[in-house]
Amino acid sequence: MSGELATAGATCASALVTAMAADGWGSFRTWLRQWLRRNRPESESHLLQRIDDDREKLLERSAAQRERQAGKLETAWGVRLQDIADLDAEAAREMLHFAQAWMSRHRPAGDAAPRMVQQRAEARGRASVVQIGGDQYGDGTGRGR
């Protein structure tokens, strides 16, 4: 899978979580339901119920708690969506293009551009690489600024 498609899950998860608290939620959910129906019909209803439950929990949070919860949801949904995308490059490409287009139309106020995550990892020989999102800070302390 190309580098661009390797981040399809994370990109779509970012758009998904943004959509959960935005005016465009209905159109995003409708598209996602159709995409799941085509690419993961056996688990469509389970995943949609989980999305609805996560959205409800997110919206119940205070503004301060919402940002932290959104980060956790982005990480979890990034893995789930990438697992589906890894099975079909065309499905991954469709998901990525939809997420990028949705974010460009529904950019949160104050955001100059949609967030883009790019990761690169390389393992040789018997080594393996595991990349996991979450709180990461450039100051080396593991704490926020």
pLDDT tens readout for residues 42-94: 999 999 999 999 999 999 999 889 989 999 999 999 999 999 889 889 999 99
In a domain, 91, yes or no: yes
Mean pLDDT value of segment 96-120: 70
In a domain, 10, yes or no: yes
Contact 83, 9 (CB under 8 A): yes
Angstrom distance (rounded) from CA 21 to CA 54: 11
In a domain, 75, yes or no: yes
In a domain, 28, yes or no: yes
Domain of residue 13 covers 3-105
Domain count, the chain: 1
In a domain, 139, yes or no: no
Work out the pLDDT band at 127, boundaries 50, 70, 90. Answer: confident
* pTM for the full predicted model: 0.71
The chain-wide mean pLDDT, for the chain, equals 82
Angstrom distance (rounded) from CA 16 to CA 74: 8
In a domain, 54, yes or no: yes
What does each C-alpha distance from 33 to 37, 39, 40 come to in angstroms?
6, 10, 10
In a domain, 38, yes or no: yes
